[in-house]
């Protein structure tokens, strides 16, 4: 059901969610980050620097601990995270659209990931529509999204001046609203009109554009060997900003971290990996199939616009623009896709 809440009552809503651990954007040292919500929450952020990806897929996940006393078989203890009711407020539509994409990878019916599922179960997202693009680097409309999309959200809020229009999208979303029922008023037809106008205005805001995102998969495939990849990666420094700040990048690495030697013990740990790092997919033989910066840029872009599309029928990029705005040297995925796909039939 569609409802409204006064902005001044937002903190009361959060307080009423006593069964939930609540997170909201906070500005610390100049960086917008999702933090445990304090008493005064206002959704005054543009977008958070890091997407809410790590709530379900943290940068570091311990699979199990191991211990081996000499002469005895190794003892392994699985470290499955406890399920908890957590809700993240202020998620932007681009980051919301990343949720079903991450779910598709880690809740794959054939290869379900128990660690992801344990964190994802009980995790809810309260989104905030973008009445205007939060940055000049936004391009959600180019990749099939919308600044007012509720995809991946449990609740979508839309800023109507002094109030939020509240749309519960899922059963969990309805429960979040029901938990503080008294704070909400029913939306009148006039409110709905105001919402429609706000959403239409938001959709009409100009954004940067990818010329043919829908056809990009085929065109990128045709241009796999293009010399453009190396040219476009010329300035690349091979850091991990673009993928570590990406709401949908999900490559990971697994290492054994040894913490003691007598007896030998430690943890098997999963950490985010990064296709821009020089050792990404390097073989134990020393051979590296993606040795150059160009081949690694191609991997990043084609994963989002070609391989993911081939595997799951959707683009992996949601147009948040972080990889563009945060790149230290101006590598620009919009420009890269446009350049590599132009003049390809």
In the complex, the residues that contact other proteins under the rule CB under 8 A are 28-31, 33, 46, 49-50, 59-60, 135-137, 208, 234-235, 237-241, 244-245, 253, 255, 257, 269, 271, 274, 277-279, 282, 284-286, 324-326, 328-330, 332, 334-335
Q: Are strands 155-159 and 163-168 parallel, antiparallel or unpaired?
A: antiparallel
Please report how close the Cβ of residue 200 comes to other proteins at its closest, in angstroms.
22
Is the Cβ–Cβ distance between 199 and 129 less than 8 Å?
yes
CA–CA distance, 77 with 212 (Å, rounded to integer): 49
Please report how close the Cβ of residue 72 comes to other proteins at its closest, in angstroms.
20
Nearer to other proteins, 11 or 281 (CB): 281
Please report how close the Cβ of residue 220 comes to other proteins at its closest, in angstroms.
18
CA–CA distance, 295 with 224 (Å, rounded to integer): 9
State whether residue 282 is helix, strand or coil. coil
State whether residue 15 is helix, strand or coil. helix
DSSP codes of every residue in 153-176: -SEEEEE-SSEEEEEE-SHHHHHH
Nearer to other proteins, 84 or 237 (CB): 237
Please report how close the Cβ of residue 178 comes to other proteins at its closest, in angstroms.
35
DSSP codes of every residue in 195-226: HHHHHHHHHHS-----TTSTTHHHHHHHTTT-
Please report how close the Cβ of residue 277 comes to other proteins at its closest, in angstroms.
7
Give which of 287, 113, 132 is closest to 205, Cα–Cα.
132
Is the Cβ–Cβ distance between 247 and 48 less than 8 Å?
no
* Structure token pair of residue 324: 């563009």
Nearer to other proteins, 87 or 236 (CB): 236
CA–CA distance, 90 with 88 (Å, rounded to integer): 7
* Structure token pair of residue 31: 């960086």
DSSP 8-state secondary structure symbol assigned to residue 82: P
Nearer to other proteins, 277 or 312 (CB): 277
Is the Cβ–Cβ distance between 305 and 316 less than 8 Å?
yes
Please report how close the Cβ of residue 237 comes to other proteins at its closest, in angstroms.
4
CA–CA distance, 57 with 101 (Å, rounded to integer): 12
Nearer to other proteins, 4 or 269 (CB): 269
Nearer to other proteins, 12 or 291 (CB): 291
Nearer to other proteins, 104 or 290 (CB): 290
Nearer to other proteins, 173 or 247 (CB): 247
């Amino acid at each position: 059901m569609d409802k409204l809440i006064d902005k001044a009552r937002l903190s009361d809503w959060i307080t009423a969610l006593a069964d939930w651990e609540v997170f909201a954007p906070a500005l610390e040292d100049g960086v917008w980050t999702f933090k445990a919500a304090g008493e005064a929450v206002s959704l005054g952020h543009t977008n958070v620097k890091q997407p809410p990806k790590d709530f379900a897929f943290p940068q570091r996940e311990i699979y199990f601990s191991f211990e081996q006393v000499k002469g005895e078989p190794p003892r392994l203890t699985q470290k499955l995270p406890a399920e908890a009711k957590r809700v993240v407020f202020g998620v932007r539509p681009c980051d919301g659209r990343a949720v079903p994409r991450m779910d598709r990878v880690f809740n794959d019916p054939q290869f379900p990931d128990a660690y992801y599922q344990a964190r994802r179960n009980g995790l809810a997202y309260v989104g905030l529509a973008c009445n205007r693009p939060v940055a000049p680097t936004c391009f959600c409309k180019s990749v099939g999204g919308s600044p007012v999309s509720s995809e991946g959200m449990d609740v979508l809020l839309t800023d109507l001046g002094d109030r939020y229009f509240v749309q519960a999208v899922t059963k969990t979303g309805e429960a979040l609203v029901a938990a503080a029922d008294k704070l909400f008023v029913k939306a009148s037809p006039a409110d709905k009109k105001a919402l429609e106008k706000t959403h239409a205005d938001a959709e009409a805001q100009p954004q940067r554009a990818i010329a043919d995102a829908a056809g990009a998969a085929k065109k990128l495939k045709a241009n796999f060997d293009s010399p453009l990849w190396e040219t476009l990666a010329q300035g690349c420094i091979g850091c991990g900003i673009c993928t570590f700040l990406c709401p949908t990048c999900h490559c990971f690495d697994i290492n054994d971290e040894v913490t003691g030697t007598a007896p030998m013990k430690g943890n098997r740990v999963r950490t985010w990996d990064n296709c821009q790092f020089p050792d990404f997919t390097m073989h134990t033989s020393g051979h590296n199939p993606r040795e150059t910066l160009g081949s690694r840029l191609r991997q990043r872009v084609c994963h989002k616009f070609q391989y993911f599309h081939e595997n799951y029928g959707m683009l992996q990029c949601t147009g948040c623009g972080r990889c563009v705005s945060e790149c230290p040297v101006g590598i620009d995925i919009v420009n890269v896709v446009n350049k590599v796909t132009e003049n390809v039939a």
